[in-house]
Structure 1
Amino acid sequence: MTTAPKTQTNEGGDVRLAGISKTYGSFTAVHPLDLTVPRGTFFALLGASGCGKTTTLRMIAGLEDPTTGTVALGDQDVTDLPPYKRPVNTVFQSYALFPHLDVTENIAFGLRRRGIKSVRKQVGDMLDLVQLGDFAHRKPHQLSGGQQQRVAVARALINHPQVLLLDEPLGALDLKLRRQMQLELKRIQTEVGITFVHVTHDQEEAMTMADTVAVMNGGRVEQLGAPAELYENPRTTFVANFLGTSNLIEAEVVEAASEITVLASGAKLRLPAGRCPTATAGGGRLLVGVRPEKISLVHTDDAAEIPEGRNRITGRIADSSFIGVSTQYLIDSPVCPALEVYVQNVERDTRLVPGADVILHWNPEHSFGLDADQAVDAGKMGDTAVGEVA
């Protein structure tokens, strides 16, 4: 295992991984990785099961030894330090609370273990932070899952770690409670100002809470950036499909200037040159991407009402699903066999039913381009690398 000098500058990062990797025999769980987590931010490692995100987190925590590379926390190289000597605490999905201790004593456990006897004020501050002041003397079994998770967070934060690591902390909660806790964790991180590194497979969870997201795939970081940037400007088909849903249309470039013009099964589509890979902007094949919610859907009888300058393609509704806030349509089209369109349920057109002929149209600015040599289905649910560990 390689090591770096023991004294380094922070360079604005609370966590810095340099050339870090992990192999198990002939299998590589994490390929050499350079990553800096900015100080005081909420950072998410996002990916499907087996992508290497948990292994990366465990190397930061000291629970796994890296095969190569270094781990620095602030200005300290901690690569060779055991977990208990690192300025980090970890919150797990299982909560790991002591069932025989009440909330106060669970939170105070770390302080008492260090020989600190006067813990009342610090525990009180933590109870206020996680909004559990009225539950101070309850046992874990008397709390909901979300309340237990807050106790686990408070117990970790009371030790004033430099970095808080969260390994799928909301995975055991139901959907409604999980969404509430997403907002709670973000509020807590904002209030305490400590760097959070959060591992999750849940795209919505990462997008809701994180300032920066690293999308991992096959032991590598596929793309890193702010949630909105990753969603609006994916660089690979994996990111386009894994973060939400994307319609990817195979096309041929016919003109390249400030705007790219392509042909897809006879339909002419346009998209900004700035949202295309440079390797394909000058000609050849291209995947044109557009998110389902960016597309408008009209019956063919209303074709004259479509504004000029819109991308448009024809199709037929194959299926539809009413999900409350919107209706999701599956469209068969000459340009793509299964296009998805999400239409807000504001003024529903009763003609838009399976079998109806329709026109799909959208602002060209909402299109993005990807290298057509990539797998169109990469990153869709169930698409995980074989034989990989978390």
Structure 2
Amino acid sequence: MTETASTSRGGGDVRLTGISKTYGSFQAVRPLDLTVPQGSFFALLGASGCGKTTTLRMIAGLEDPTTGTVHLGDKDVTDLPPYKRPVNTVFQSYALFPHLDIYENVAFGLRRRGIKSVREDVGAMLDLVQLGDFAKRKPHQLSGGQQQRVAVARALINRPQVLLLDEPLGALDLKLRRQMQLELKRIQTEVGITFVHVTHDQEEAMTMADTVAVMNAGRVEQLGAPADLYENPKTTFVANFLGTSNLIEAEIAGKHGDDVVVTAGGAKLLLPAGRCAAPTASGGKLLIGVRPEKISLTHADDAGVIPAGRNRVTGRIADSSFIGVSTQYVIDSPVGPGLEVYAQNIERDTRLVPGAEVVLHWNPAHSFGLDAEQSPLAGTVGVGAVDEEVS
């Protein structure tokens, strides 16, 4: 678990140095360093109460940091009020003016700054968000997704250095939310402005962001590209919060080339030493992790056809759920109860039903190792996160 986090790419549009926020005895954001690369789509991801919204509000100037500084580009804006910072914020509540049509909603920021000729800029911005034909409609005549795009256009027309998005898609239904994820990413790519996006939705962050900072209890737990965070979690919180992980308590038996050899429930398993975020001394403990979709499931009668060199454990199917694209199995095994396996519905084996004896097997390269001192439940629903949101 880290107190600081930073990116390795060039200069940043947003630089937080030693930033923290305390409310009385409650530390909403612990001291952290964070750099958001210029022109990137950056996500602050975490459960309610993790400090992500407070961090965003300190960037916007809506909260004063207890310690640390906020730089936008090369300028220290820590003591500047919100209206003097080159940022705009889009909230979950679109905050559109109901009595103004879409054109005037988007033009509002320009008119407020005394700009008389707004037609070209407003037209271009409405075209960017694909609402050029809706200029004369009122907000109540638009869908939720369209209203959100108007809110984005209204924020972008002021040409901010950074656009802050605070759970902007939270009020939309699932299908519309997924469409808007792609829309926001397209818009960000076209305009090239730095986006900092706060969300509790793991899929949303991974779909949209170039870089994700996973926050927990006021600190950045891990930072990186979505695929790297998913494939190489460094803590049990990240492993569980980003999708689902099977975490098996194991004892380290030694090394075999570049692999660590562990034993669990009578099974010998391998994992790459380079994917171990834990000490690997013989006799020690670690948690060996593997994602459910990385595991293959074979009926025990066919165990002889499993290729050599794969990690394998035996078990019995306790439950199964058909969800369309895949079937999700729950397996009780000597290495632990409740192992999860996701199998694509391509050629279903009708013998794989509750009660069946099976072998779970996977490529050792898909395993990762975590410190066994951590709770294997951290990051699951209701575990490992603060319940109180401070905004």
Whether the TM-score (by the shorter chain) exceeds 0.5 is: yes
Supply the AA of the counterpart residue of 2:60: A
**Is the Cα–Cα contact under 8 Å of residues 295 and 362 in structure 1 kept in the other structure?**
yes
Q: Which runs of 5+ in 2 are unaligned?
A: 1-8
State the match for 2:231 in structure 1: 232
Cα pair 1:47 1:216 within 8 Å, conserved:
yes
Structure 2 SS opposite 1:50: coil
One-letter amino acid matched to 1:45? L
Instruction: Encode CA deviations 1:116-166: one digit per residue, 9 max, x unaligned.
Output: 111000001001100001111100000000000000000000000000000
Alignment of 1:337 with 2:322, yes or no, is no
TM-fit CA distance, 1:336: 1.1
Q: Once the 2 structures are TM-superposed, how far is the Cα of residue 385 of structure 1 from its aligned partner?
A: 1.9
Whole-Å Cα distance in 2 between the matches of residues 181 and 325 of structure 1? 23
| Partner-residue secondary structure (3-state), 1:379 | coil
The answer to whether the aligner puts 1:347 opposite 2:356 as a matched pair is no
Contact 1:218 1:388 in 2 (8 A): no
Which residue does 1:7 correspond to in 2?
none
Q: Distance in 1 between matches of 2:220 and 2:99?
A: 42
The CA deviation at 1:382 is 2.0
1:215 aligns with 2:226: no
Map of 1:177 onto structure 2 = 176
Aligned to 2:390: 389
Moved more, 277-286 or 337-346: 277-286
How many pairs were matched up?
A: 381
The structural deviation recorded for 1:281 is 4.8
- Shift in Å, 1:354: 0.6
Query: Partner letter of residue 291 of structure 1?
Result: R
Matched, 1:82 2:55: no
Q: Which secondary structure state, in structure 2, belongs to the residue aligned with residue 355 of structure 1?
A: coil
Report 1:124-163 matches (<5 A).
124-163=123-162
Larger mean Cα displacement after TM superposition, 79-88 or 274-283: 274-283
Cα contact 2:278–2:369 (8 A) shared by 1: no
Give the letter for the 1:309 counterpart.
G
- Write out aligned runs for 1:344-383 (5 A): 344-383=344-383
**1:40 and 2:34 are equivalent in the alignment:** no
Identity of aligned residues (%): 83
Please say if residues 43 and 210 of structure 1, whose CA atoms lie closer than 8 Å, have aligned partners that are also in contact.
yes
Distance 2:208 2:185 in 1: 6
Contact 1:320 1:329 in 2 (8 A): yes
- Match of residue 22 from structure 1: 21
Distance 1:309 1:225 in 2: 31
Amino acid at match of 1:385: V
The 1:194–1:275 alpha-carbon spacing in structure 2 relative to 1, beyond 3 Å, is same
CA distance in 2, matches of 1:11, 1:281: 37
Shift of 1:389: 2.8
Distance 1:387 1:94, change over 3 A: closer
Q: How does 1:189-268 map to 2 (within 5 A)?
A: 189-256=188-255, 257-268=257-268
Whether contact under 8 Å (1:43, 1:212) holds in the other structure is yes
- Residues 17 and 33 of structure 1 are in contact (CA less than 8 Å); yes or no, is this contact kept in structure 2? yes
Q: Which runs of 5+ in 1 are unaligned?
A: 1-9
Q: Which deviates further from its counterpart, 355-364 or 251-260?
A: 251-260
Query: Structure 1: how far apart are the matches of 2:334 and 2:278?
Result: 27
Instruction: Report how far residue 387 of structure 1 moved.
Output: 4.4
Contact kept in structure 1, 2:269 and 2:364, CA below 8 Å? yes
Q: CA deviation at 1:278?
A: 4.8
Q: Give CA deviations for 1:256-288 in whole Å, capped at 9, x if unaligned.
A: 251100000110000101001252355400100
Pairing 1:255-294 to 2, within 5 Å after superposition: 255-256=254-255, 257-294=257-294
List per-residue Cα deviations over 1:218-240 (Å, max 9, x = no partner). Answer: 00000000000000000000000
- Counterparts of 2:281 and 2:145, CA distance in 1: 49
Compute the displacement of 1:305 (Å): 1.2
2:30 is matched with which residue?
31
Match for residue 305 of structure 1?
Answer: 305
AA of the residue aligned to 2:30: H
In structure 2, distance between residues paired with 1:42 and 1:282: 42
* CA–CA separation in structure 2 for the residues paired with 1:234 and 1:269: 19
In structure 2, what is the Cα distance between the partners aligned to 1:283 and 1:210?
Answer: 40
Normalising to structure 1: TM-score of the pair? 0.96
State the AA in 2 paired with 1:150: R
Q: CA RMSD in A?
A: 1.1
Task: Identify the range of structure 1 (255-264 vs 335-344) with the bigger mean alpha-carbon deviation.
Answer: 255-264
Cα deviation digits, residues 278-324 of structure 1 (max 9, x gap): 52355400100000000000110111110000000000111111100
Deviations 1:13-35 (A, max 9, x none): 00000000000011100000100
Residue identity opposite 2:305 in structure 1: E
- Would the alpha carbon gap of residues 386 and 125 (structure 1) be closer, same or farther in structure 2, given more than 3 Å must change? closer
SS at match of 1:303: helix
Match in the other structure for 2:318: 318
Q: What is the identity, as a one-letter code, of the residue corresponding to 2:330?
A: L
Moved more, 263-272 or 282-291: 282-291
Secondary structure, aligned partner of 2:277: coil
